[in-house]
Amino acid sequence: MPVITEKKYLLLILYICLTTTGIFISYNIVFNIKIILGGIASLSIAIVDVLKPLIIGVVIAYLLFPLTDAMNKLLAKRFKMKRKQYFLSVVLTYFCVILFFVLTIVAIHILVGGKISGNNDFSAMVTSIREYIARYNELFKFVNTKMVESGLSGDLKSYLNDIIVYTSKYISTSIDSIFEFSQSLGSAVINGYIGLFISFYLLKDYELFKRHYTKTMPLFFELARIQSFNRTAQEINNVVSRFIRGQVIDGLIVGLISSIGLMLIGMDFAFLIGFTAGIANIIPYVGPLIGCIPAIIVGILSPDPMQAVWAVLVFLVVQQLDEAILSPQIVGDSTGLHPVLIIMAVIIGAALGGIIGMLLAVPTMGVIQLFVMKYIKKRTDLVSR
């Protein structure tokens, strides 16, 4: 009969303790999964909130890098500068971007303020906008009163009245949400301001970060793995940059054409609504519908409600023009995604992250498809050997 030594006893006790601990931990994880996932989500949100300025800075630097690179090449070609050439290109990039936003804000202020309040005073403009938005209350009260005075059946009147009340509440909630959003812009402006400074230094010291990356990576990874990672990063950059560049250019053109069309039918806030439609057009398939909603609301509240119908026709024409000519030529097959995948990506993005999720959905799906295709190619090569 084999003798069990003291060492074997200790190992047996250790195995029993580890197994018991593992079962206990697994039991608690399974039956407290909601609490654990909630804690992880809360921790992730807290970390993202802390790092939000850095994330904004990285995104701004990524978006502005192509313009900075173009400025750098222009300075090198035209002026043949040798010292501080890249720093000057970064400064010129930020000057152009800030100038563009300042001119846009001034233009919106002048157009909106002059249109509805007859002057450019900001406080008068805000007061007039509130009065303009409040017109919908009178409209729905008038319709509701006429419904009561009409000779329609009780069920039909009740049904139509429910629709009117629901629509009124929906618009009221939307308007309240807009003002609440405007009031909560303080922290977003601060984060954006800090992120802008971070992005400036990220772009200014781009070559420094690149040198550090080139020197540090070989200390931790093999050369083949580094080259594979660089190729994958470049492919991801190509997918995302092509999509962003194409959608932004397409959105600007759609916004300009929509603004001109709305101006021709005499709609108030034509430039602002057209600009909003151009931004919304960045979201495939769903964006045009989002951009059309403000035009319909303003048209209904205007002295001539038929403007809402004309606005819808304008957006239908612009959308057909975009789908037939602009989008194929400018955006093209930037991500290589099938339309079904694009629609599903937008739906999932809207469910997970709202408007931001919808904006990020298509390039994210493009990156996922890139990894799937690389995996399939890798498996195919292994099988064919």
DSSP state letters, 116-168: HTSS--HHHHHHHHHHHHTHHHHHHHHHHHHHHHS---HHHHHHHHHHHHHHH
Q: What pLDDT is recorded for position 1?
A: 45
Find the distance separating the first CA and the last CA of the chain, reported in whole Å: 54
Count of alpha carbons within 13 angstroms of residue 188, beta-carbon side? 5
- Lowest model confidence (mean pLDDT) among 66-70, 173-177, 204-208, 243-247: 173-177
Average pLDDT of the chain? 75
Break the chain into its structural domains and give their ranges: 6-31, 246-333, 335-380
**Owner of token pair 């759609």:** 254
> Tens of pLDDT along 141-197?
666 666 556 655 455 556 556 665 665 555 555 555 555 555 566 677 788 888 888
The pLDDT value given to residue 119:
47
User: Where are the strands (E) in 23-100, listed by range?
Assistant: none
How many residues in the chain?
A: 385
Checking if the pLDDT of 129 tops 60, the result is: no
What is the per-residue pLDDT for 224?
85
CA distance 136 to 159: 20
Residues 256, 274: Cα–Cα separation, whole Å = 7
- Given a contact cutoff of 8 angstroms between Cβ atoms, the answer to whether 271 and 286 are in contact is no
Lowest mean pLDDT among 52-66, 67-81, 124-138, 275-289: 124-138
Whether 253 and 330 have beta carbons less than 8 Å apart is answered as yes
CB atoms within 10 A of CB 52: 17
DSSP state of 325: I
Torsion of CA 254, 256, 262, 268, to 10 degrees: 120
Contact 292, 277 (CB under 8 A): yes
Kindly report the pTM of this predicted structure. 0.64
